[in-house]
Structure 1
Amino acid sequence: MSQLHVKKAAVLGAGVMGAQIAAHLANAGVPVVLFDLAAKDGDKNGIVRKALDGLKKLDPAPLASRAVLKQIDAANYDEHLPLLAGCDLIIEAIAERMDWKNDLYAKIAPFVSSTAIIASNTSGLSINALAQGLPENIRPRFCGIHFFNPPRYMHLVEIIGTETTDAATLDALETWLTSRLGKGVVRALDTPNFVANRIGVFSILAVMHHTQRFELGFDTADALTGPKIGRPKSATYRTADVVGLDTLAHVVRTMQNTLPDDPWHGHFKAPAWLDRLIEQGALGQKSKGGIFRKVGKAIHVLDLGLQDYRPSAGEVSAEVAAILKEKNLAIRFAALRASQDRQARFLWAIFRDVFHYAAVQLEAVADNARDLDFAMRWGFGWTQGPFEIWQAAGWSEIAQAIAADIAAGLTMSGAPLPAWVFDGRDGVHTPAGSWSARRTAYVAPSALPVYQRQLFPERVLGAGGASPEQSGETLYENDGVRLWTMPAVDAGIGIISFKSKMHAIGSEVVSGLQAAIAQAEAGLAGLVIWHEAPFAVGANLAQVSEACASGEFAQLEKYVEAFQQAALAIKYAPVPVVAAVQGMALGGGCEFAMHAARRVLALESYVGLVEAGVGLIPAGGGCKEFALQAAEWASRTATPNELLAFLQPVFMNIATAKVSKSAQEAVGYGFAQASDTVLFHPDELLYVAIREARALAEAGYAPKQMARGIPVAGRAGIATLEMTLVNMRDGGMISAYDYQVARAAAVALCGGEIDAGSLVDEAWLLGVERRLFVQLLKNPETQARIKHMLDTGKVLRN
């Protein structure tokens, strides 16, 4: 299979989606030319420049760091079409108008390279029809590429081939999207709204239909259709507000206009209340109000009975709450069907109708059931897809219940379930593959080589496959960690996985980590610290709080010292230790990662020294590592003792408990290094980290020697940093106790209350950290902060 190398890309259309697609390409290090119409007045690139400026203001941030904006060049169709000749990938992302897209294709065709892939980011227009607007020589390199909003964070990308798209083009694009952009790719059929929107929008329409039928409030429907049933916090109606009520109505109209033969066609229309909101300009989040709106700090919801807004409540009945706590889905669904509670009947109805729709339409909308379920997971944030839920709830029992409701006229359509539903099966997902109604066979997952990089790929329920905890050969284990290998991948590289909740670092993790590293020294070539996200949320605060309450401060100091020794064991192990970081790496987790020989970070890594939030300072070597970085940085400047220029931003990050919002930001903050590897697909993390450790070992890895003769900023540095704190305290930006905690961080970063320029070693710096940490632990204000964090999960500013 030929590889796709995208040295430069173009995005046509600087609207919300186009600009954010360009941003994510830039996140991945791809230079991008972002096009739009020429502005009528002033700078002809004004439309694009305004869109680029808007990227800096969006939340969640589409940019992994502000620096990646430099990768995006502004362009317009009047002046810059020749730039397309240098682009390997061209993504069209203009408005959903077939005539507009065809006009644009006619403009760009003369300038497109003979090898470039052209793709339309349409959300539902026919890709085969769009292909007709391109010259025949371009059509084999044309396809649909449907990103979900926001493109950086939504995992799903649907690729849609045409009758003339070259198969190698689709394979190369899928490979590139998977590894370079970190996406979950589904090969969609060229049907209206493709896979995710077809099923997802139907599920929204089903909720709307049954909300009215069972006379529920929108807030109650959202309380029932969110996390309690494995769907996002935004549930149904808040999701509609986020997407935009006008956008939702447009997608529904597309289904209405293009699916006249769909047995559910009568339901493909926006409710009258939705049309009224759109007419009034209440489009949801983008217009500051839609189904929900904010009134002061309160959230109000539209009440159709009152024809006005009221405070949102959304309470789940006690009976339904109890049913939804049941883990066994077969028991849960049986209880929902048996209940006379209006909310229970509502839930059964929305599940039933989605199961019914997915089964009838599977042949038309997706190659197989796995693709449909992944599309709903990745595109709509469902914990499980509809077929997974149905299979877990008991395939035949649910099928019979649906058939009975069809016969009783209770379903949204009278269409019969397909015959394959009743052929004696237990479900649609098996270890051999997932059911394809089109092929009348079970289809195995894609065999593209890129998926071999995913050692523990995401799987649908019923597909089989061992979890990491059940895999490999265990070499050492205690209550906190497991040291294991994967002989089929590399028997010489050990994997250390934390076993604690949220991978918090308690005494059992500290002792286990040291023991695992000691064992690895005897017979392994390298080590990887890896487990599924989060990497580690920091020290085990519950253990710390209990020790404080018992006055065991001497024991706590020993724990901190052991923590520090574990960090040093990572740093000075005779074999390379690679930290594979994904998700949160906070506090002690950040410190362990900082001490590794190398880091392999997933793009979505949120790294920071956050101890100030609980009234503490980093004491697992974090302050010490920054003091070392400052000394190394200063040694390369004209004034080697000028440490403060480096320390000042570091100090503010620690004092404010700043957390990176991406792996790139983690590098910028000094939590990782520019030489570290950033991956966009988290499932590739272990594979790459193992190879990173092997490469270091093969290169003759030898750890650095413990640093000595480290110049520190001392009292003069502390005084300078303290001036910043005085201004913040006097300006009401921090509390008096925030000041005290931050000053302790300044002392640790500056090497203690000693003369500026004094030379110390790592043991000295660790001792300063440790003493200050224990002093703060003895303070009632710190103890109150720790308790508040444990009780509420929030920071107390006392």
Structure 2
Amino acid sequence: MTHKNIHKVAILGAGVMGAQIAAHCANAGIPVLLYDLAAKEGDPNAIVNKALAGLKKLKPAPLGSPQAIQLIEPVNYDHHLERLSEADLVIEAVAERMDIKKAVYDNVEDHVAKDALFTTNTSGLSITELATVLPDSLQHKFCGVHFFNPPRYMHLVELIPTKDTEQAVLDRLEAFLTTTLGKGVVVAKDTPNFIANRIGVFSIISTMYHGQRLGIPFETIDALTGVLIGRPKSATFRTADVVGLDTLAHTITTMDNGLPDDPWQNYYQQPDWMATLIEKGQLGQKSGRGVYWKKGRDILVLDPETGDYREQNAQVDEDVLAIMKKANPQERLHKLQALKNNKQAQFLWSIFRDLFHYCAYQLADIADTARDIDLAIRWGFGYSHGPFETWQSGGWEQVTALIEQDIQSGHTMANVTLPNWVSEIKGAHQPRGSYSAADGIFKPRSEAAVYQRQLFPDSLLGETVNYGDTIFEDDDIRMWHQGDGIAIVSFKTKKHIISDGVLKGLRKATQLAEQDYKGLVIWQTEEPFTLGANLAPAAQAVASGQVTQVEALVNEFQQTSQALRFCGVPVVIATRGMVLGGGCEFSMHADAVVAAFESYIGLVEAGVGLLPAGGGLKEIARRTAKDTFGNDLYPMLEHYFKAVAMATVAGSAAEAQDIGFLDSHSEVVFNPHEILYVAKAKANYLADKGYRPPVEEQSIKVAGAPAIANLEMLLANMLEGHMISEHDYAIAKRIAIVLAGGYVEAGSRVSEQYLLDLERHYFIELIQMPKTLQRIEHTLKTGKPLRN
């Protein structure tokens, strides 16, 4: 089997998953042939074209940029089968029925290229059984590749080999999925529902069972099983509605049919209320109602006793709230277990206990190590910690003793003892690796070449993470290195907010980097990159009349951006997650940006009644002058003006390039765990080619007063049409003045410092306005913008 790269993908089946997998391949710049049946009349590709039209409307957006769709070519089995040989990877994503899949395999088998990989995206059918209907020529290169919905955003892909799948096939796929598509790959054994759905759906079954047993209403169960315990805010029943009650029921049935000897088998049944809803076609979000029903402005919840919908009344017990929010992780499970007469505490203890019991019992059969279960649940179901991590954080031996006690007294869902290995180890994850129940040893992480690019992979509790050697550190910032001549800066503030301390630290970092290092990378140890500047001190200073103090702070911000721009060694910014306000401005001043595809970049200051004043508007004016061919600066300026005045946040790094917040030559990396590796390589490259910092520009051509007049006309129309408020107008007008270089003649030449002074002047004007202070106060209090 050759190790050639995957340059083209064919997807068989343009259903919801097939079309979205195609979209994500297109996001990554890979051409896709998207197959489905030929339509009976009219355009033979009508089925695929309808699916492509649907991609544009789906939320969250499967496409990172509208242009990506051009890489997906609609084709059908009747007219284009011979073109299948163009693909290096074929992903079958047709309906979950063995007979349908077999018919497709029979149809395509002679057209698959000799060294192409052939895979199925089934979520529940046995891969081994599917392989039996394939010809011998495809057996060795066939396996399961199970994406999670929505494929662009869910990090997990399960890779399920058969006994005949060649290792080279798996290695090639793992590298492609990890680096090219940015996924977290977990290799699963071929058992019903594989790893994530097996464990995640058991967790839902157990939650529904204990909720019913203890008489806890659905909405209270959701209040208890969401963010409070480190799971997504969609919790249990909202998740079921989003996934689709029919899909959930199908997954439960797969476990019921496929696991006849399982000690938990009698729980693999859908509850009566769910069967009734499915019968009525009330399947959740896709049909408008399920467990929840959005009726007008109200969101009603199902009462399983009456079958009717009623108002919600979620009440979380104060003792339970105190344990989950204030107790340290070691004590939480013990404290819940000890509250014998508290239904909610017993409910939470029960769902944790039975999940741990289930995972320990099933580990040897379904996964190679405990790491695979924990990462699959984190990446596929959005838990902040996997089951084994949670168990370990509560004290492995102590929690084990409590589980054994409950097994003996008949309180657990299944009456089977814990496997012997549980009491022989001190925790499932150790610095030397994670426990493999099948082999009875701790196994280290894979050393495959693709993982050498992840300097800091998603770590598990119990693993040791060493963030290099400290150069300097204070409360707000840490500068460190890994012994390779590249200095790294990470913020320590909450949500990586840019405080006064971060600004001082960054300026110190640029000086130290110039003295002793080849390059400087700004990278955060976790998302977000930053939510922007801390506005609270500035608002307080204005309120107490200390405007000059605020002006000094804004000046400090601007000079920090300039220090990044003119640093004597290359500065590379590595972003993932939110990159708002000052974070966007810093990235505009760096020599290079390495952005994870899921970087959401924007200048959002208008939302809090201000304008960007960390050099962002100056950079836009400078870039517009540099990038505009011919003399008319206005069209490009108007484009930027709209993005800033509307506080637009790009929905991906690709969209940030479309808008212009990111240069077209910025590096976009699909796996967020690879951005530091690429950023350091970029800094090295820039240093090695003889880096010279730019020189401060004194002659930037600006659009001047005529452009301001044009933009004001645009704003007047919006005000007239009630699309913006008068305060929005006041903010946007000042953004226009700065971008156009002030009230000067068109084509005038100005310096960078002149533009920074303009930015600062109008920022100070805005921050003193009562309506701006109201906006800031409202945002600090609620996290949401105020339109006043």
Shorter-chain TM-score tier = over 0.9
In structure 2, give the amino acid aligned to 1:483.
M
Confirm whether residue 621 of structure 1 aligns to residue 615 of structure 2.
yes
Corresponding residue for residue 520 of structure 1: 513
| Secondary structure, aligned partner of 1:417 | coil
State the distance in 2 between where 1:438 and 1:699 align. 51
Report how far residue 56 of structure 1 moved. 0.7
Shift of 1:717: 0.2
**Aligned equivalents of 2:76, 2:327: Cα separation in 1:** 55
Aligned partner of 1:461 in structure 2 is 461
AA of the residue aligned to 1:204: I
TM-score by length of 2: 0.98
Structure-1-length-normalised TM-score = 0.97
Find 2:591's aligned residue among 589, 593, 597. Answer: 597
Change in Cα spacing, 1:479 to 1:391, as seen in structure 2 (3 Å) is closer
Give the letter for the 2:523 counterpart.
W
Q: Deviations over 1:170-194 (max 9, x none)?
A: 0111111111111111100001100
Q: Which consecutive residues of structure 2, in runs of 5 or more, have no partner in the other structure?
A: none
On the 8 A contact 1:4/1:176 being kept in 2, the answer is no
CA distance in 1, matches of 2:236, 2:576: 29
Q: Evaluate the alpha carbon distance shift between residue 479 and residue 410 of structure 1 in structure 2; reply closer, same or farther with a 3 A threshold.
A: closer
- Is residue 748 of structure 1 aligned with residue 738 of structure 2? yes
Give the drift of 1:3. 4.0
Q: Displacement of 1:418 after TM fit?
A: 0.9
What per-residue deviation string (whole Å, max 9, x for no partner) do you get for residues 586-632 of structure 1?
11110000110010000110100111011111111111111112112
- Which secondary structure state, in structure 2, belongs to the residue aligned with residue 79 of structure 1? helix
Show the 5 A alignment for 1:323-722: 323-339=323-339, 340-423=341-424, 425-466=425-466, 471-487=467-483, 490=484, 492-532=485-525, 533-634=527-628, 636-637=629-630, 640=631, 642-722=632-712
Q: Secondary structure at the match of 1:435?
A: strand
| Alpha-carbon shift at residue 763 of structure 1 (Å) | 1.2
1:89 deviates by 0.5
Q: Letter of the aligned partner of 2:435 in structure 1? A: W
- How many angstroms apart in 2 are the aligned matches of 1:393 and 1:501? 25
**SS at 1:56 equivalent:** helix
Letter of the 1:602 partner, please give it.
A
Q: Is the 8 A contact 2:9 2:31 kept in 1?
A: yes
- In terms of mean alpha carbon deviation, does 781-790 or 24-33 score higher? 781-790
Per the alignment, residue 163 of structure 1 pairs with 163
For the residue of structure 1 that corresponds to 2:481, the secondary structure is strand
CA contact (8 A) 1:479 1:509 kept: no
What CA RMSD, in Å, does the superposition of the two structures yield over aligned residues? 1.2
Counterpart Cα distance in 1 of 2:587 and 2:501: 18
Q: Report if the CA contact (8 A) 2:26-2:69 is conserved.
A: yes
- Distance (Å, rounded) in 1 between the aligned partners of 2:668 and 2:430: 34
Q: CA deviation at 1:703?
A: 2.1
Distance 2:225 2:267 in 1: 20
Using the TM superposition, give the Cα deviation of residue 2 of structure 1 relative to its aligned residue in structure 2, in angstroms: 6.2
Q: For residues 68-97 of structure 1, what are the alpha-carbon distances to aligned partners after superposition, in whole Å with 9 as ceiling and x for unaligned?
A: 001100011111111111100000001111
Percent identity for Structure 1 against Structure 2: 53
8 Å Cα contact 2:126/2:192 also seen in 1: yes
Alpha-carbon shift at residue 50 of structure 1 (Å): 0.6
Contact 1:633 1:646 in 2 (8 A): no
3-state SS, counterpart of residue 769 of structure 1? helix
Aligned residue identity for 2:655: E
Indicate if the aligned counterparts of 1:431 and 1:465 stay in contact, CA closer than 8 A. no
1:389 and 1:12 map into 2 onto residues whose CA distance is 39
Give the corresponding residue for 1:299. 299
Give 1:791 shift. 1.0
Whole-angstrom distance in 2 between the partners of 1:47 and 1:307: 38
Gap regions ≥5 residues in structure 1 = none
Contact persistence 2:568–2:692 (CA under 8 A)? yes
Kindly state the Cα deviation for residue 422 of structure 1 after the two structures are TM-superposed.
2.2
Contact 2:218 2:301 in 1 (8 A): yes
The structure-2 alpha-carbon separation of the partners of 1:404 and 1:476, relative to structure 1 and needing over 3 Å to count, comes to closer
Give the secondary-structure state (helix, strand or coil) at the position aligned to 2:735.
helix
| C-alpha displacement of 1:433 | 1.1
The alpha carbon displacement at 1:133 in A equals 1.5
1:231-380, aligned counterparts within 5 Å? 231-339=231-339, 340-380=341-381
State the match for 2:78 in structure 1.
78
Deviates more, 1:535-544 or 1:588-597: 535-544
8 A contact 2:3–2:168 mirrored in 1: no
Cα pair 1:388 1:461 within 8 Å, conserved: yes
Aligned residue in 1 for 2:146: 146
Structure 1, residues 205-234: CA drift from partner, whole Å, max 9, x if none? 111111111111111111111111111101
Shift of 1:685: 1.0
Q: Deviations over 1:631-666 (max 9, x none)?
A: 1232x23xx1x1111011110111110000100011
Q: Deviation of residue 480 (structure 1)?
A: 3.1
1:88-138, Cα deviation, whole Å (9 max, x unpaired): 000000111111111111111111100000110000111111111211111
Distance 2:4 2:736 in 1: 49
* Structure 2 match to 1:730: 720
Q: How many residues align?
A: 786
Amino acid at match of 1:382: Y
Superposed displacement of residue 475, structure 1 = 2.4
Q: Secondary structure at the match of 2:579?
A: strand
- How much has 1:379 moved relative to structure 2? 0.6
Secondary structure in structure 2 of the residue aligned to 1:137: helix
Deviation at 1:4, TM superposition (A): 4.6
Q: Which whole-Å CA distance do the structure 2 matches of 1:166 and 1:287 have between them? A: 42
Distance in 1, Cα, partners of 2:236 & 2:683:
45
The amino acid that maps onto 1:358 is C
- TM-superposed CA distance for 1:429, in Å, is 1.1
Render the CA deviation track for 1:569-591: whole Å, top value 9, x for unaligned: 11111211111111111111100
Secondary structure of residue in 2 paired with 1:186: strand
Aligned mates of 1:330, 1:129 — CA distance in 2: 44
Asked if the contact 1:506/1:543 (under 8 Å) is kept, the reply is: no
CA contact (8 A) 2:2 2:115 kept: no
1:696 and 1:726, CA in 2 relative to 1: closer, same or farther beyond 3 A? same
Letter in 2 for 1:392: S
